[in-house]
Amino acid sequence: MSEKEFNKLKKDLDQDIYGEIRFLNNEKQKVLHSLTTKNPASNQFLKRIFYSTATVILLFGLGAVLLNEGIGSNPDQSAVAPDISKNDDGNNNPSNDTPTNAASDDQPTNDAGLDKNWKDVTDVGTVPDHETNSAKKLIRINNEMLHAPVPEQYDDEMYYRAMGSHILRGSIWYIDVEGEAIEKDFENIKNLTIVIHMEEKERYEHLDLPKGEWPQAHVDQWKQPSERMKTAMRYLKGILNDLDIAINKNDGEILGYAHMVDGKKAADIENFIHEEELVEFWLPAIEEEKKK
């Protein structure tokens, strides 16, 4: 896409669709998200499959630890599987990334000095029954799910992880938060899930499937995930890890990806995300709206 074409798309976004109405960037994305959500029922079904499978794997893993090690065999050893039944202030936080700092008193800092005060202003009355209706719970559940072991029936780990990202991409739009640092973190989460979605499309576009055919039925023919997709997933897991510590007060290693912990790597995420990629994601909704 040329710079001229890109600038025209941005102008269309600001003028042709919204007219004289002025939205914040977050509000624009919420409107466009509603336009691209074609089938909430299928998203709900996918979510149930993902959560149910992950829960079974977690329980199986916990059972294996108890059988192999014996209950109370060694107080220094902990089960590798997170407990998804904990409340919003649960204290487990699995992570497979390399921490920048282990102690909370020595967290990585950046020059932004953003205000960490925040509040959840979600209008729970507008959240569907099958969706999470609190920011704390959204972060806790998705952090645990994206760090849970991959079920054995999935040979393609990134395919399975991307399902979790897809669920998060749909759920986070129902949650509204206020606060200088947390708003930036939530926008980074949304954008990372879009990058993962766009990179996943690259994995199967070469198949040239007929319109309406489900690409996931041909996952054995997909290309290997790109390095960009792997990086986006690493960033997503990292920011969820840090936010779970920051807002749910969980124990764990701060990895430095979230503004809420003054993470140095938060800037890396923002530099990683290409505005052109976001425009490409929203373009179908923009064009569809123009036809109305």
Supply the pLDDT for residue 29.
55
Q: How far apart are CA 265 and CA 231, in angstroms?
A: 12
pLDDT of 292 above 80 = no
Give the single-character DSSP code of 215.
Answer: G
pLDDT of 89 above 60 = no
Model confidence at 9, in pLDDT bands (50, 70, 90)? low
Backbone angles phi, psi at 12, to 5 degrees: -60, -40
Task: Please state which of the ranges 21-25, 181-185, 231-235, 284-288 shows the lowest mean pLDDT.
Answer: 21-25
Half-sphere exposure of 243 (CA within 13 A, CB side): 30
Q: How far apart are CA 275 and CA 287, in angstroms?
A: 18
CB 173 within 8 A of CB 30: yes
pLDDT of 60 above 50 = no
CB 257 within 8 A of CB 239: yes
Radius of gyration of the chain (CA): 20
Supply the pLDDT for residue 109.
42
pLDDT tens by residue, 171-212: 999 999 999 999 999 999 999 999 999 999 999 999 999 988
Supply the pLDDT for residue 26.
53
Distances (CA, A) of 209 to 153, 202, 223: 24, 13, 14
pTM above 0.75, yes or no: no
Q: What's the CA dihedral at 244, 33, 55, 177 to 10 degrees?
A: 20
Supply the pLDDT for residue 290.
74
Model confidence at 22, in pLDDT bands (50, 70, 90)? very low
